[in-house]
Amino acid sequence: MTLGTISGYELIKPLGSGGMGDVYFAVSPTADRVALKVIRKHLIDEPTVRERFAAEVDSLKLVYGSRVARLENADPYADPAWLAVEYVPGATLRQHVDAHGPLPVAEAAMVGAMLADGLDKVHQVRLLHRDLKPQNIILGPDGPKLIDFGLAVLVDRSDYLTAPGAMVGTPAYMAPEQVKGERELTAAVDVYGLAATLVFALTGHGLYPPTNSWNLLLRITEPGDLPDLSGVPAELTPLLGAMLAFDPGARPALGDVGKRLLAVATASSGRSAAQLRQDVAALTYADDTELLVPADLQDPRQDPEGTPAVEESTVPEPTLPPTQVDPEPPPVTPQADVSWLVDKIRRQYARRATL
């Protein structure tokens, strides 16, 4: 039993719901597993927004790398619009920290280095994530993967506030320039988001205390109101502080961020990058979360009338015995004439009987 079908994908189970839409575990006609997000209608009613979303989908087709959940399919012009990406088993970074507590410094730094590598590949195709946060990072069997690219463009400031201006992203992890609604964003917004995410991974708390949206956004846009880095290990405090600089131009580039995070990870643990990758997976991957294709899933390509396209007879065809071929007679071996020997032996026995 499924929840419905969208463009041939069978919706099996809800995975979550957010401001941008509902996410389902779905299966393609060829049994590929995907996470399919159905975009909320009110977010994409405006033709210009739909076109921007379509452009983002085109950009997503160029994204590559093992740290990104790859795009499988999408239809921004459908009703409802939808987007399907690779299904990645595992818990989100938020779920893991909530359930098990903050990550050790070496593993957190390694997670950050891997995410920096993934984001760098995303930026190479001139795409920004814009909504980097613990909920958008899946801790899979091979380490962390980024999800929910291209969807932040659908969220308007009115979804958080009634004031005019465009704002994309989740407030608690947004850079100051995003909060101010600046249009010309750069890769520095994702550097800020990565730092905010790593602060949570290391401490379990955000950059600012929980509060309402107005107060939070005002604090983020106040240059003198510095983010809370309490609990961040000393090895990472200088780097994360630089990544959270109020001025986007003062933040380090992703390439430098990745190198410095990897250096902290290896130095603090005395282990190689390959060993740390295994440590991260062993610590964070929850294999009991994996969803499989149901064994009783109906074939989505079955004829709607319930009859096969070609009628097949139910009467078995008679089975004919195999044709018997007369075997060739075995070759005749010529027999030697030994009658003379038999006669000789008989004569010898006859002579002995008369002696």
- SS3 letters across the chain: CCCEEECCEEEEEEEEECCCEEEEEEECCCCCEEEEEEECHHHCCCHHHHHHHHHHHHHHCCCCCCCECCEEEEECCCCCCEEEEECCCCEEHHHHHHHHCCCCHHHHHHHHHHHHHHHHHHHHCCCCCCCCCHHHEEEECCEEEECCCCCHHHCCHHHCCCCCCCCCCCHHHCCHHHHCCCCCCCCHHHHHHHHHHHHHHHHCCCCCCCCCHHHHHHHHCCCCCCCCCCCCCCCCHHHHHHHCCCCHHHCCCHHHHHHHHHHHHHHHHCCCHHHHHHHHHHHHCCHHHCCCCCCCCCCCCCCCCCCCCCCCCCCCCCCCCCCCCCCCCCCCCCCCCCHHHHHHHHHHHHHHHHC
Residue 37, marked binder: no
Q: Return the pLDDT at 165.
A: 43
Work out whether strand 143-146 and strand 21-27 pair parallel, antiparallel, or are unpaired.
unpaired
Cβ pair 92, 243 in contact under 8 A: no
Q: Residue 222: what are its φ and ψ, rounded to 5°?
A: -95, 110
**Cα maximum dimension of the chain:** 146
In this prediction, residue 53 carries a pLDDT of 80
Cβ–Cβ < 8 Å for 21, 51: no
Half-sphere exposure of 241 (CA within 13 A, CB side): 13
Q: Are 181 and 166 in contact (CB under 8 A)?
A: yes
CA separation, residue 248 to residues 17, 167, 168 (Å): 31, 16, 16
161: Cβ contacts below 8 Å, ≥ 6 apart: 167, 213, 214, 217
What pTM was computed for the model? 0.77
Amino acid at 52: R
Contact 63, 121 (CB under 8 A): yes
Question: In residues, how long is the chain?
Answer: 355
CA distance 149 to 84: 11
Asked if 131 is an active-site residue, the reply is yes
Q: What pLDDT is attached to residue 321? A: 44
Distance (Å, whole) CA 159 – CA 256: 35
pLDDT of residue 339: 54
Spatial CA neighbour of 253 closest among 105, 110, 116: 116
Asked whether the bond before 223 is cis by omega within 30 degrees of 0, the reply is no
Q: Per-block average pLDDT, block size 10, for the chain (355 residues)?
A: 89 86 93 93 80 80 90 92 94 97 98 97 88 94 87 46 44 92 90 98 96 89 96 98 98 98 98 98 93 73 35 37 43 49 51 43
Q: What are phi and psi of 228, to 5 degrees?
A: -85, 110
Provide the pLDDT for residue 316: 38
Given 131, 148, 156, 190, the catalytic residue: 131
Handedness of CA 264, 268, 272, 273 (dihedral sign): negative
Spatial separation of the C-alpha atoms in residues 65 and 350, rounded to whole Å = 105
Give the tokens for residue 92: 């989100």
Q: Which residue has the tokens 């400031």?
A: 157
**Domains delineated in the chain:** 1-87 (3.30.200.20), 90-289 (1.10.510.10)
